[in-house]
Amino acid sequence: MSKPIESTTTVPLHDGAKIPIIGLGVYQADVGEETQQAVRWAIKHGYRHVDTAALYRNEEDVGKGIKASGVPRDQLFVTTKIWNSAHGYDNTLAAGRESLKKLDIGYIDLLLMHAPGSSTVSTWQAMAKLKEDGVCKSIGVSNFGIHHLTELQKATGILPTVNQLELSPYLQNREIVQYCHANGIVVEGYSPLTKGRKLNDPLLVEIAKRYPGKSTAQLLIRWSLQQGYVTIPKSSKEERIKANIDVFDFELSQEDMDRLGQLEEHLVTGWDPTTSPWNP
């Protein structure tokens, strides 16, 4: 990115909204106090973006954590997602409204289709209706490959604002990223820490030594940010939540960015959008 990246940096969406460049993911955070506390800690340490989903079953607790934070609603950005079992026009309308009811925060900033599924087109059309009705401000997708994106636009004429997919130096999805950039779709990366699988990679450890006080996890997050991706690290532990946002006081050199860029090995820890079939 041309300007220095800060914790308050936002990325413009093509519909005029702006999304914070870093957010807290709450996948697998337990229902109840664990999620509520993680959200409170994240906001305390400077996060202004929380990413949840109907599938995670903790939307209600995200909402409670936000209310307890003391930060005004309009200063926060909340993402949730429509799961595949709620695909189809009427099901999606109901699911979007149910998510908002559970969150109880007035509106959803970004509603994503969690993955392509059995009724992708009608689901997308319902999401556009939810935006029109004020349930959400923006709509996007997650785990979509190029074939999903092209077919969705061809069928509906509505371009997603965001495509959220797994991204790390070990899984770069270059062709999808290039397609998104060329078409004005913001790229958002989840699992930047490879679910811990690569934190002890010798090359990563070697590079981290050149950045005093920075961990390999922080290097992975910083790589993602310098790629220009909106980045969603997840944790429910305060120390790690704080460390994951403590990545704005250093910059990876171009040499190190290039070395990390050579680590591609198609390490999928979640969903592979390149192999998922198109299910309209």
Instruction: Supply the residues annotated as catalytic.
Output: 56
SS in 3 state form for the chain? CCCCCCCCCEEECCCCCEEECECEECCCCCCCHHHHHHHHHHHHCCCCEEECCHHHCCHHHHHHHHHHHCCCHHHCEEEEEECHHHCCHHHHHHHHHHHHHHHCCCCEEEEEECCCCCCHHHHHHHHHHHHHCCCEEEEEEECCCHHHHHHHHHHHCCCCCEEEEECECCECCHHHHHHHHHCCCEEEEECCCHHHCCCCCHHHHHHHCCCCCCCHHHHHHHHHHHCCCEEECECCCHHHHHHHHCCCCCCCCHHHHHHHHCCCCCCCCCCCCCCCCCCC
